[in-house]
Chain A
Amino acid sequence: MAEDGPTPLERFLRGILPENPVYRQLLGMCPTLAVTNGMREAMTMAGAVTFVLLCANILISLIRHLLKPHLRILVFTLTIAAFVTIADRFLAAFLPEMSQKLGPYVPLIIVNCIIICRCEVCASKQSLPTAVADAVGQSIGFALALASIATVREVLGSGSWFGLELLPESIWPRWGIMLLPPGAFLTLGLLLGGANRLSSWRSAKRAPQTSQG
C-alpha cells in the first residue's frame, strides 16, 4: 500500500541536516543549552533521547489507525513519559554518576518538543519503516548538534574532549565562562548563525542552477 509523504530515506536524510532539530527547527533547546558543557553528558542525553524517540515513534506508528484525533496528544505524552521513566531508571542503575550529573534533565525529556513533534508529524501518519527512519535521522541530527556545541564548550572551557586533555593549561587558559550558561548561549548563537549562513550560501548557489535548468 502506497502512503503519502516522504519515503523512509528522505525522512532519514532530512533529520540529519536539512531538518536538523536544533539548527533548523530550534527544538529541544533545554537539553541543548543545559547539558552541553561536556561531551560525555551531551552524548548520554543524545542516547536517552534516541531511545525515547525511537520507541515512541515505533509504538505510535503501530497504533496510528487506533488514535482518536482529540486524544492523540494524550497518547503521545503517555507513551513518551513511560519510555523516559525507563531511560531514567536505566541511567540511575547503570550510569549512576551520569544520572546524578544530568539530574532533572532526563525526566525533562518528557517535554522535549522534538519527540512530540516527530510523533505528530511522522509517526502518527506514516508506516513503521518511515517512522523508524525518521527517528534515527532526527536522533543523529540531535546528537550532531549537541556534539558540536559540547565540543566547542568543553575544548574552550576545560581544554579537554570527552574528559581527555587536549590543550594543557600552559597553552590554553581555561575559559570558565564557556562551561556556564552564558557560554551555552554564546556557542549556540554563533553556531546557529554559522548554520544559517551556510544554508543561505547553499540556497544562493543552487538558485542560478535552477534558473538555468
Chain B
Amino acid sequence: MKNSYIGQAWLVLALSVSFGAALAGVETWLRPTIEANKLAATIRWIPRIVPGADARRSARAAPIVVTVGTGRNETPYDVFRALDYQGGQIGWVVRASGKGFADKIEVLIGLDARAETITGLSILDQKETPGLGNKIEKMGDKKHKGFLWQFRYHHPRAGRPLVVTTASPRKGEAGGANKIRAVAGATISSKSVCSIINEALSRPLREKLIAALATTTRKGPRRD
C-alpha cells in the first residue's frame, strides 16, 4: 500500500477533492453578485455601443434570452434592448462568449433595431496575454485606431461573416467593412472575437430579434 499509486498520491487526491468542494462553494456563493456586476457593466456599455441609446431607459427593459440551435448545439444568448430617451427601441445588445487564446472571451455586440448592422463592440471579460492579446479591448482614436474602432465606426453588416485580415481594407472596397484588421501580435485573439460574433449573429438569432422587435412595435414604445 505504501508504494502503490494511491499510497503515494492520497494527499494530492484528498486536497483536490477538498479544494474542488471549497471552490464550488465559493462559486455558488459569489456567482449571483458577479452576474449582477456583469449586468451593471452591460447596461453602462449600451450607450457606447449603440449610439443614441439611453442607459437608464435601457436598464428598465428586461433582457430576453434567445436560444439558437437544437439539442447539444443549443446556445442561449442574453439580449438587451437599447432604448432611446423616449423609450423607443433603436437597437440590441447581444452578450456572447467563446474561446480565446488564453481563456474565455465575453463580448457585447451592439446592433441596430433591424439587426442588420453592427453598431459597436465591447469586451466584457477577457484574460488574453497582457501587452498582446488584451489589445482587443482598445478603442483608440481617429489617429491611432484600436481594434474596436472598426466595429464602432465602420459598421460591419450583421448578415455577412466577418473576415480577419492582416492588412487594412482599401477605402471603398466591396465588403471592406466586414474585413477586420487583426491586432498585430494578437491574430488568434482577433480571430476568436470575430468567430464569436459570426457564431452569435446567425440568421436564426437575427430573425428572432426582428420578430421580438415587431411584437414591441405593435405594443408601442414603453413610456414608463
| Chain A contacts to B: CB under 8 angstroms | 34, 63, 66-68, 71, 74-75, 78-79, 81-82, 85-86, 89-90, 92-94, 96, 100, 103-105, 107, 181
Residues of A contacting B8 with CB < 8 Å?
A: 68, 71
A103 touches B130 (CB 8 A): yes
A75 touches B15 (CB 8 A): yes
A78 touches B23 (CB 8 A): no
Beta-carbon nearest neighbor of A86 in chain B: B26
Q: Is B102 an interface residue (CB 8 A)?
A: yes
Also in contact, A92 and B134, with CB within 8 A (given A75-B15, A78-B12): no
A96 touches B30 (CB 8 A): no
Q: Is B33 an interface residue (CB 8 A)?
A: yes
5 smallest A-B Cβ distances: which pairs? A82-B19, A96-B37, A93-B33, A104-B127, A93-B30
Q: Is B212 an interface residue (CB 8 A)?
A: no
Smallest distance from the beta carbon of A66 to chain B beta carbons, Å?
5
Roughly how many angstroms separate A78 CA and B9 CA in the complex, as a whole number? Answer: 13
Q: Tell me the dominant secondary structure on chain B's binding face.
A: helix
Residues of A contacting B26 with CB < 8 Å?
A: 85-86, 89-90
Question: Which of A34, A71, A92 lies in contact with B11, CB distance below 8 A?
Answer: A71
Question: Which of B16, B27, B41, B134 lies in contact with A103, CB distance below 8 A?
Answer: B134
Residues of A contacting B126 with CB < 8 Å?
A: 103
| Chain B contacts to A: CB under 8 angstroms | 8-9, 11-12, 15-16, 19, 22-23, 26-27, 30, 33-34, 37, 40-41, 102-103, 125-131, 134
Residues of B contacting A96 with CB < 8 Å?
A: 34, 37, 40-41
Roughly how many angstroms separate A49 CA and B30 CA in the complex, as a whole number? Answer: 20
Roughly how many angstroms separate A86 CA and B8 CA in the complex, as a whole number? Answer: 28
Smallest distance from the beta carbon of B203 to chain A beta carbons, Å?
33
Also in contact, A104 and B22, with CB within 8 A (given A71-B8, A71-B9, A71-B11): no
Smallest distance from the beta carbon of A147 to chain B beta carbons, Å?
21
Smallest distance from the beta carbon of B188 to chain A beta carbons, Å?
15
Beta-carbon nearest neighbor of A30 in chain B: B130
A66 touches B131 (CB 8 A): no
Question: Which of B19, B27, B30, B34 lies in contact with A78, CB distance below 8 A?
Answer: B19
Beta-carbon nearest neighbor of B20 in chain A: A82
B12 touches A93 (CB 8 A): no
Roughly how many angstroms separate A94 CA and B30 CA in the complex, as a whole number? Answer: 9
Residues of A contacting B41 with CB < 8 Å?
A: 96, 100
B12 touches A74 (CB 8 A): yes
Smallest distance from the beta carbon of A107 to chain B beta carbons, Å?
6
B34 touches A89 (CB 8 A): yes
B34 touches A66 (CB 8 A): no
A78 touches B134 (CB 8 A): no
A78 touches B33 (CB 8 A): no
